[in-house]
Structure 1
Amino acid sequence: MDIFESFCRTCGNECLESLSIYKESAQALDKMVPISDMLAACLPASMPPLDPEDDYPKQICRICVKKLSMAFEFSHQWLGAHSEFNVALKFEQRRRRSQASRSQSQTQSQTPTHPAKPKNEPLPTDPADAVTPKIPSKRAAAPATDEAKSSSESRPGFKCGICNKCFFTEKACQFHFKFAHKDL
């Protein structure tokens, strides 16, 4: 039906300069993305999917395209941050499980392996400066058993320069620094 040919599908207003939802692309996330893809990504799941054969308007006004681009970028930003939080939480859960299993297997007579941080050393202001690679200690003349190999392979490789917490990846360590030491 052509009764809606000059109306915007998203705001319902009549528009003189409109773009085709199914044929045009718009700038989002530093690239050109088809408008129909952005709409599909931003529509609620309860809505029926877009269909080029339906009787609804096939146009979108330029104002709504700008709003759509912002919503699309926000959605991707949200998903990216959520993904990073999930990665950080998984590493933290692994670290806690590993720490709990080590504390169960070690006796209280062992000394800590991390030396205390000197008090006169300035605190890092950049997360990259707070990440210190952990260097595995060499065991003198001790044959490597399967248990020793698996425990050394599962040790975190990065250490926070402030609180000495250990992490498996530099990104997880920087994430920890960013949130745990945000007041520094």
Structure 2
Amino acid sequence: MAGSSSGFVAGLTAAALATVGFLAFQASATVPAGLAKPRTGDAPGVSTSKAPRDRKEPDALPDGSGTGQRVVYSVDDDRVWLVGESSKVKRTFRVTPGSVDPLPGVYTVTSRSNATTGTDGSAIEHVVRFATVDSVTIGFSTVVRAASAPPDPALKTGGIRESRAEGDAMWDFATIGRPVVVIP
């Protein structure tokens, strides 16, 4: 009896995973075309040119990164700012980018996953997705357990990795629809 019930549970689990996978595919296929693409003209005050950095305070929020509550990600500096009300920086931290960078522009958080497996085979959590470049999904995440084998160097990855504490802060802050401003 124990063997038959575990087979039944495994079957139910497989069916549930297939259903979730199908629904995720359907959801991604029905997202309006403009949601995952940069909209540089939609956000006043956002500059996609190389913003001058404050040499005395390199962690300072760059000029031209928009207004209001938002996530700001600098591709050149591998740094993120979580910006709250009145454009006050709540937190800033360094990140490790994947092999594919998003283009400068304004995006929104389009989906989130509490836990999944990254393209590189690592167990990841607190995934916050906001863009797609050449069929590679771009988002912030935290590695829970690294893959057992090193990833193929030719593998295109869009995971922008954060420490556990920063991943928790991003997860709490970057809800669906939150603007993500990508600057050079």
TM-score by length of 1: 0.30
- Report the structure number with the largest CA radius of gyration: 1
More strand by share: 2
More helix by share: 1
- Higher relative contact order (CA closer than 8 Å, sequence separation 6+): 2
